[in-house]
A and B are shown apart, each in its own frame.
Chain A
């Protein structure tokens, strides 16, 4: 199969034959060796949660996880939405799912959102929720467990903030902890 003969003849030229661009270092900017402009805007947003997620957040305040059901594909959708994106029709029913689930996958993060090192690594996981359709889950943090003890398939349970401190946010669940034997 290989074309050993005439290979050199076949290869005409090395493209790209040149590449342009002047590399600079962070210090070139810090020390003013290249001219630049710095702009630090002040941009603030207000994100409306909409119908489904407002109801979901209100549920969190009461310590409940709410989901919606589509009778056409028979899925229990979590997090809830007001329409089924597969059947493209309105949902049929609101329901409550459990505050427990299974770790589908996890990561041990050593960095914060700005890629700066974290003092203590945190464990993040995708958790499929009991009572929702298979693989329907959310991303959240794991706690009360050492990184080396986490495994895929581990059962976990939500640890809620005290009711008085809940504000209708995803962080009303502080983290999820191992629930073996519960």
Chain B
């Protein structure tokens, strides 16, 4: 037995192009809705605290993932400290960026959580781990209730 009459001329091999024509609308959920509305309407940062173990989640959640207890929302300053940072020189299509962007993981004060966001108003060589930063928000009228309502974090 053989796979007989096999096509060897690559020009005789066919392919079909296809496109996935879907798009998605993601609701922010119960915790996310509260968080983004506070950010958009009041410029406030919310976290949530586990009523059992006290772990404070940022971004907030309605449950503690380790105890499965409910949480309560608390207000935080939004300021924090750089835990790690990276400099992006390419965009998501791997095209060079004119102005390299600094992305950082920022530990938010009074929480056990962190956020990944841009750093601004700072030179690359001035950034260091442990640097204190605070958020810069879009003007209220431009805010949409999305993570991009925070423009970037800047040294404080």
Binding site for B on A (CB under 8 A): 22, 24, 29, 32, 34-41, 43-51, 53-55, 57-58, 82-83, 89-94, 168-169
Q: A41–B40 Cα gap in the complex (Å)?
A: 26
Contact indicator A90/B30 (Cβ below 8 Å): no
| A45 partner, pick from B3, B17, B36, beta carbons under 8 A | B17
- Name the interface residues of B3-44: CB closer than 8 Å to any CB of A: 3-7, 12-20, 23-28, 30, 32-33, 36-37, 40
| A35 partner, pick from B5, B14, B17, B40, beta carbons under 8 A | B40
Binding site for A on B (CB under 8 A): 1-7, 12-20, 23-28, 30, 32-33, 36-37, 40, 145-146
Name the CB-closest residue of A to B34.
A35
Contact indicator A47/B20 (Cβ below 8 Å): no
Residues of B within 8 A of A35 (CB): 27-28, 32-33, 36-37, 40, 145-146
Could you tell me the distance in whole angstroms from the C-beta of B83 to the nearest C-beta in chain A?
25
Contact indicator B14/A58 (Cβ below 8 Å): yes
Contact indicator A44/B18 (Cβ below 8 Å): yes
A41-B15 contact given A35-B37, A90-B2, CB 8 Å threshold: no
A47-B16 contact given A35-B40, A41-B23, CB 8 Å threshold: yes
Q: A139–B25 Cα gap in the complex (Å)?
A: 33
Of the A-B pairs whose beta carbons lie under 8 Å apart in the complex, a sample of 28, sorted by A's number, is: A22-B30, A29-B27, A32-B145, A35-B27, A35-B32, A35-B33, A35-B145, A35-B146, A36-B26, A36-B27, A38-B23, A39-B24, A39-B26, A40-B24, A44-B17, A44-B20, A45-B20, A46-B15, A46-B17, A47-B15, A47-B17, A49-B13, A49-B14, A50-B13, A54-B14, A55-B5, A90-B2, A94-B5
A34-B15 contact given A39-B23, A90-B2, CB 8 Å threshold: no
Name the CB-closest residue of B to A32.
B145
Could you tell me the distance in whole angstroms from the C-beta of B93 to the nearest C-beta in chain A?
10
Contact indicator B18/A45 (Cβ below 8 Å): yes
